[in-house]
Structure 1
Amino acid sequence: MTAAATKIRLTQFAAGGGCACKVPPGELERVLAGLTPAPSGDLLVGADNGDDAAVVRVSDGRAIVLTTDFFTPVVDDPYDWGRIAAANALSDVYAMGGEPLVAVNLLAWPRDRIPFELAAEVLRGGADVAAEAGCHLAGGHSIDDPEPKYGLAVTGTADPGRLLRNDAGVAGVPLTLTKPLGLGVLNNRHKATGEVFPDAVATMTTLNRDASRAALAAGAVCATDVTGFGLLGHLYKLARASGVSAVVEAAAVPYLDAARASYADGFVPGGSRRNLDWVRPHVSSSVSDDELMLLADAQTSGGLLVAGEVPGHPVIGHLVPRGDATLVVR
């Protein structure tokens, strides 16, 4: 890369950042109301419960898992952004209990504002993560756009009898979280100050492959990944779809180093605030609003939230019969 290219901060070209720039969940649901018919026949998972990917049965022992995910720069380093975006897109397949098979790139680039050689670094990062996942990466689509965006459209495979769905939770099972929280506030701080948080980058570029396989091996049938709607938002969707309530033990939830300090310093993404506004009417809480905000923090390439125990990962709560509140935080 040229010296000028290495000085460019990609996050300064984006209004939002990572999964925090998702359309607010309540607004999205209002727009989609009545437009998403329930799955039927071989369409095993559609859009009715807001699950992580679509699943179509193609034979008795095989289903196709299809998803796409892309977003604006969440870090300044183009290679790391590519890795993060690819890991995040692949996560939707793992969250369904599948294995990614093939993906294509989705790239939007402001050619007159950012050297195209940086786009090559983004694509290289995506290719390296796809290779780590054993997923073919074959071409894609690019457009000239005022704001940079990158991600993947991914096709995977799964056993239709061993899916991880967000509507399969039952009362009495524990809730396991496979990555720490705090990515939203740390990415927000990085965008504002340029400070780099290696543990956050390592977390976002870690595939959810091993966690997904471990969840299936432990007999889990219900899971989702924790991304732009935060832990509380994704847990609310899971509990609502499953017809249960969920109890979260706030003290058991792990956080990345510097996450709490960054929150205290005011680095809170707008997406996190919208997440909490959306779930608050469905929450009964005995913790502070600051704690709730951290639990609603908009994650990028976060971990899996599994209804069941996953060895090596913390249990942060459990599912209970449906009560007055869908989420109980204590």
Structure 2
Amino acid sequence: MNILVFGKDGQLGKAFQKLFDSMHSTEVHIQYVGREQCDLSNSAVLLDFLRQSKPDLIINAAAYTAVDKAETEVEVAFAINAKAPELMALYAAEHGATLLHYSTDYVFDGNKEGFYVEADPRNPLGIYGKTKAAGEEAIEKVFSIPNQGQYAILRTSWVYGDGSNFIRTILRLAKEREELKVIADQYGVPTSAEWLAQVSFNLALDQHFNLRKFSSGIYHAVPAGETTWHGLARLAAQAAIDVGIALMAGSEAIRPIPAVEYPLPAPRPTNSRMDTAKLRKAIESIGDMSKLEHCKRLWGDEVQAYVARLAQDGLI
């Protein structure tokens, strides 16, 4: 079994490495790939890398994620977020491999009431969302022709893990300032990179690293529940206080503001909530209740555990 993990330096890539390292399988060759090993914006380099590596499983945790910079760096954003996934899909379809690709709530415009389902039409607002939507469409097109491969596009949102992210920024600012103002009218689901890596593993692999058969398509992959950026900030601050971290701005000092008071170059969807019934059904079919329970974990429980780990590691 050969596994390629693209995006080794990102939060999800690091979560996969931590997960795989904990399993100590000698039957599997895993290669973690960053830009130094393979520049995803260069199609020829990527194709050559895939042919030489001969992966059975491609995990594309890499992406151009600079939402605001994408408005001006259009070409490179499309190369990494759309063309590279297409080439990975072409390899998987031709060689009978499995592709796990990660997408985003930004493929939606955020105007829907309630939770988005996988079949809802894409209507991205900014360049970042347009590139990720194009990547999804390219993968679907490749696999629409009969082939021996399989794929899952896992749409997720508000990811945090080992690296820079919203939670760590809020906690840093809360130690420096007596009051914070955070957007309270954008809704979504914070997603732990470790949670997402484990869910992905459960969908695609068994405990012996044998590939599972699953229905190819898009899956919404976020923990249970919903919140706003303001709600996330307040919970993170309270979680830090609960484990003994002194903050200048406690949860009550984090004030709600509308998005219009914090303008950014790229538009954001107001509603990023995504229904996960399809993913839960796929995990349930495995027949292991512990895997289903992991899939159903609440976003707030995941955030509290994450903040506690940050405190334990001296990172707050």
TM-score category (smaller protein): under 0.3
TM-score when normalising by structure 1: 0.27
More strand by proportion, 1 or 2?
A: 1
The structure where helix makes up a greater share of residues is: 2
Greater relative CO (CA pairs within 8 A, separation 6+): 1
Q: If the length of structure 2 is used for normalisation, what is the TM-score?
A: 0.28
